[in-house]
């Protein structure tokens, strides 16, 4: 790579203060507040082409210098030693940009990662992105309710003593953020199970209390290698739909079966094909062989009961127990590991967890760890890339955008938006600029439905609605019902149809 040559050429525009890369893309911070122009891009590219080296500028814009804090111009580009590689990259990049969740997230104002002054692997979720995230949490709260879960909350940090007792300090420390304060070690949580255990241990438990089912939408932190980080699919900070069921040994199979069936319903909602793998005892396992044999047997029996095929992944379990890993396939035929279900005899033993049985004796419970969506951020990246950002109506941050053709229809359009918002529909109005530009902006923003209002629509109380699939519908107040390709609704029926599709998580 000829980074130094690129830097020297850029010095003619402004002093290069900093540089770096993200995957194949290079970036340079220039000490200038003057925005770079298309002429700057072309000039740079032609200079290298004359040297039989090939540079393509991807983007440029203002940024903050991490040392001085002053505004600079950041330029992003790629560089290749031959034109063939550049042409191939350009074709691949164009297709990737139609699906890349990082590009779509920034284009739609859903989220971004501020590597220079916040840090890599630390996504910032914008209001619209939080709608997606919260809708997934809302979905999982419904699933949790049917499973009988109780939601808990735990802090983001704990003393290293806790992580030493759980085994994470010894077996997972390289992925944890550990520091010393006032002579004592602390750690930001990479897992929630040791904290949920403390809630269980707060008071004596009886066999009558079990199963106890804890759930938490918890922000966890894992120190992945910088080369492994990728958008919001692999991060340092992420949110889990984390669960810990504390059960008697006899209850393992029944509870795991319920979890698998609940997970299957979630996959069906998103149209995901899935496969299952059973990961067995790893080399760094803790606990006795007897514990591991019991745990693996319980998972195998549950899988047999729900009649699903599975593969064995030898030695790929967690250090404290075997696990069921569920992989889903997206529309690009890529497999993603989402759901994990683990049985754990070790931590209950290590933390001296107990319950009183029917004979009044103290017994050791078993923990079932699982997450259905896994990392909510990773799940978001999967559904964004699988759908090219065209999220289903119920999940879309903006479900309807109303576009009046001119100011004469603005009041009617605003009243429609206000009525729908009052009913819980995420609707907005856009009346600035040409109609074609507003339609294009709505499409780029991945708005689920676009409604156009003109003079005729106001007079007839009609709205022309465009869906993700380009389907045009006329929504109007008539008594004639369906006429050919035009679907006629009274305005109230349109609202009810929207609300029903949102509530049932179905297509409009």
Considering the candidates 101, 133, 258, 369, report the single residue annotated as catalytic. Answer: 369
CB atoms within 10 A of CB 262: 17
d(CA 31, CA 65) in angstroms, rounded, equals 9
Query: 344 near 243, Cβ under 8 Å?
Result: no
Q: Are 400 and 430 in contact, with CB atoms under 8 Å apart? A: no
Catalytic residue (choose from 102, 244, 446, 466): 244
The structure tokens 């699906």 sit at 99
Instruction: Please state the φ and ψ torsions of residue 73, each to the nearest 5 degrees.
Output: -105, 120
- Strand-pairing partners, residue 157, are 188
Q: Do you find a cis peptide bond into 75, omega within 30 degrees of 0?
A: no
Active-site residue 193, yes or no? yes
222 counts as catalytic: yes
Which of 240, 253, 342, 409 is catalytic? The answer is 240
Instruction: Return the axis-axis angle of helices 127-147 and 376-387, rounded to nearest 10°.
Output: 110
Picking from 446, 450, 441, 467, the residue whose alpha carbon sits closest to that of residue 396 is 446
DSSP H or E segment with residue 309: none
244 is catalytic: yes
Residue 319 CB: number of other CB atoms within 10 A?
A: 17
Catalytic residue among 56, 73, 108, 193: 193
- Is 29 catalytic? The answer is no
Catalytic one of 101, 128, 196, 222: 222
446: which 2 tokens? 């991945």
State both tokens at 55.
Answer: 């540079």
DSSP state of 206: B
Would residue 108 show up in a list of annotated catalytic residues for this protein? no
369 is catalytic: yes
Catalytic residue among 241, 242, 488, 502: 242
Closest to 466 measured CA to CA, from 454, 453, 482, 449: 449
Q: In what order do the strands lie in the sheet with 472-476?
A: 427-429, 400-404, 449-453, 462-466, 472-476
Catalytic option among 189, 323, 378, 426: 323
Please confirm, yes or no, whether 201 is among the known catalytic residues: no
Active site residues: 193, 222, 240, 242, 244, 323, 369
């Amino acid at each position: 790579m000829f980074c130094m040559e690129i830097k020297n050429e850029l010095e003619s525009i402004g002093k290069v203060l900093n540089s770096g890369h993200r995957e194949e893309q290079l970036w340079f911070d220039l000490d200038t507040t003057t925005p770079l122009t298309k002429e700057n891009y072309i000039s740079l590219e032609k200079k290298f082409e004359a040297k039989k080296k090939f540079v393509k500028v991807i983007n440029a814009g203002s940024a903050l210098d991490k040392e001085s804090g002053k505004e600079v111009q950041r330029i992003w580009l790629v560089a290749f030693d031959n034109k063939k590689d550049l042409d191939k990259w350009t074709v691949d990049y164009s297709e990737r940009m139609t699906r890349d969740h990082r590009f779509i997230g920034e284009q739609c104002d859903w989220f971004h990662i501020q590597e220079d002054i916040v840090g890599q692997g630390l996504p910032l979720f914008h209001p619209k992105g939080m709608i997606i995230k919260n809708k997934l949490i809302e979905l999982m709260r419904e699933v949790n309710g049917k499973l009988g879960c109780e939601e808990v909350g735990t802090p983001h940090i704990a003393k290293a003593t806790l992580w030493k007792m759980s085994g994470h300090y010894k077996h997972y420390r390289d992925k944890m953020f550990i520091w010393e304060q006032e002579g004592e070690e602390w750690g930001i949580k990479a897992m929630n199970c040791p904290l949920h255990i403390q809630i269980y241990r707060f008071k004596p438990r009886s066999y009558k209390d079990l199963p106890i089912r804890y759930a938490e939408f918890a922000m966890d932190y894992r120190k992945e290698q910088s080369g492994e980080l990728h958008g919001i699919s692999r991060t340092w900070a992420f949110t889990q739909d984390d669960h810990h069921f504390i059960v008697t040994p006899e209850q393992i199979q029944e509870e795991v079966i319920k979890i698998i069936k609940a997970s299957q319903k979630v996959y069906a909602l998103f149209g995901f094909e899935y496969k299952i793998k059973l990961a067995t005892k790893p080399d760094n396992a803790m606990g006795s062989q007897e514990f591991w044999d019991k745990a693996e047997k319980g998972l195998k029996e549950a899988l047999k009961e729900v009649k699903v095929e599975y593969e064995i992944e030898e030695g790929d379990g967690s250090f404290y127990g075997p696990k069921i890993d569920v992989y889903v396939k997206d529309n690009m035929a890529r497999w993603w590991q989402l759901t994990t279900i683990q049985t754990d005899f070790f931590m209950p033993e290590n933390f001296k967890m107990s319950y009183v049985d029917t004979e009044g004796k103290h017994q050791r419970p078993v923990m079932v760890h699982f997450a259905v969506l896994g990392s909510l951020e990773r799940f978001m990246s999967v559904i964004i890339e699988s759908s090219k950002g065209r999220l289903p109506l119920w999940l879309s941050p903006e479900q309807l955008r109303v576009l009046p053709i001119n100011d004469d229809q603005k009041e009617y359009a605003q009243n429609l938006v206000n009525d729908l918002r009052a009913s819980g529909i995420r609707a907005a109005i856009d009346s600035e600029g040409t109609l074609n530009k507003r339609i294009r902006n709505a499409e780029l923003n991945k708005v689920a439905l676009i409604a156009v209002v003109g003079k005729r629509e106001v007079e007839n109380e009609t709205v022309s609605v465009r869906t993700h699939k380009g389907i045009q519908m006329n929504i109007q107040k008539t008594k004639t019902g369906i006429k050919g390709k035009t679907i006629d609704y009274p305005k109230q029926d349109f609202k009810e149809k929207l609300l029903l599709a949102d509530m049932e998580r179905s297509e409009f």
